[in-house]
Amino acid sequence: MTSVSATAVSTTRPGTHDDAVVGVVPDEVVRPADAGELVEVMRTAHAGARTVLAAGGRSKLGWAPAPRSVDLLVDTTGLDRVVEHTAGDLVVIAEAGVRLSVLQEQLAAAGQWLALDPPEPGATLGGILSANAAGPRRLRYGTVRDLLIGVTVVLADGTVAHAGGKVVKNVAGYDLGKLYTGAHGTLGVVASTTWRLHPVPAARRVVVLDLADPLAAGPLAIALARSTLTPTAVELRATIGGPASLTVVFEAIAESVTSQADAAVRLLGGGRQDDQLPEHFGERPRATDDLVLRLAFAPASLTAVLGALPAGTEVTASACTGIAHVVLPDPGALPALRAALLPHDGSAVVLSASPALRSALDHWGPLGDAVALMERVKDRFDPDRRLAPGRFVGGI
């Protein structure tokens, strides 16, 4: 196979076990220094019929199955420039390798931020987009698909594709951006991103309610969703069969957050208030060898979903958005859990597991009838199936 020339990029080296993607060690790792070098890398790889997988901060590489092969791992952390911040328009353009934490520091100087808060340290913008990662504040601000207004992607053959732009209402580009969101690099390598920003809230007030039974969170979340309150986040942290805590966050001007927090205490029937977020707020449950799942379901079904989880299951849930992350103590319970989720428009996707366990698991669960459409999209953008092969649903 054709190797990428070391003169075409800033660094090229053999792959090692430290570079492995769900156990698959790449033959070679290349780190382009800019978008032009990324284009050359992709053209050379295409000419050599090489399989390619992109990685940034590598905090979410385990969220998709193992690739069938990785001839070339493209390290996007060299694409680390904030290209343009138009504060008056609340828009920023930044390359895919920019770390979210670094971007937030720069935006804070203008009193703004990108309203995404996935908890993985070191996450890059390209990785967040490719994994469709969000955190607790999705309740107020939405997810990647809501905040992304433009993207530049290098396709498998080195062609550069642009979508959207600096205008928030550019609908045509926004739809194409949605296509790349959550695609795990199977349609192209993200080079640059354009985002809608928000002002940093002036004040915060937090209400924390301790619960003897996690299932009690369901009716409370419904009550909050039906009220006139506008929380930034409503987060449940629990162990099934044990105690739980419900955290409600208000972020706005001081007068608003104070009155809303007082109203939330009355609605919930209790709770303690603070200006600081509780420790571990927004973190997903972590386990080295256990089975970690991402659940999605109709928000009103939180009680039923929690009731379907085995005793001892660790849970963090965005209680009003229908997203939860769980550590399932018994992997054998996964099929029954997926069956229980189906009446609630639910799914359970594997995020991490031990190598031996992962190889025996159905990563995505029931796929429905959308796979044929996804196959056609894959054929349009990567007809030779060389971008992150096998990482998406249906082995795409």
What is this structure's pTM?
Answer: 0.92
* Domain 203-232+239-274 in CATH 3.30.70: yes
Q: Which pLDDT score is estimated for 114? A: 98
Pick the CATH number of 79-199 from 3.40.710.10, 3.30.930.10, 3.90.1150.10, 3.30.465.10: 3.30.465.10
CATH 3.30.43.10 intervals, the chain:
11-77+384-395
* Domain 291-359 in CATH 3.20.20: no
Alpha carbon 324 to its chain's center: 13
Q: Which pLDDT score is estimated for 287? A: 65
Rounded to whole angstroms, the Cα distance separating 5 from 136 reads: 43
* 330 DSSP 8-state letter: -
CATH 3.30.70 intervals, the chain:
203-232+239-274, 291-359
Pick the CATH number of 11-77+384-395 from 3.40.50.300, 1.10.10.60, 3.30.43.10, 1.20.58.60: 3.30.43.10
Q: Which pLDDT score is estimated for 5? A: 40
Residue 98's φ and ψ, nearest 5 degrees, are -65, 130
Strands 72-75 and 52-55, sheet pairing: parallel
Q: Which pLDDT score is estimated for 27? A: 97
Q: Which pLDDT score is estimated for 375? A: 92
Of 176, 23, 4, 22, nearest in space to 14 by CA: 4
Instruction: Output the six-digit token pair for 6.
Output: 């070391």
Who's near 252: CB < 8 A, 6+ residues apart? 201, 202, 203, 230, 260
Q: Which pLDDT score is estimated for 369? A: 81
CATH 3.30.465.10 intervals, the chain:
79-199
Residue 350's φ and ψ, nearest 5 degrees, are -75, 130
Of 282, 343, 271, nearest in space to 134 by CA: 282
Of 66, 24, 72, nearest in space to 52 by CA: 72
pLDDT digits (tens, 9 = 90+) for 60-104: 998 999 999 999 999 999 999 999 999 999 999 999 999 999 999
**Helix boundaries (H) for the chain:** 35-47, 100-108, 125-131, 138-141, 144-147, 171-180, 217-226, 254-268, 302-307, 334-341, 355-359, 371-381
* Residue tagged 């991490």 (tokens): 352
Low-confidence ranges of the chain (pLDDT < 70): 1-10, 165-175, 287-288
Beta-bridged to residue 237, according to DSSP, are 245, 316
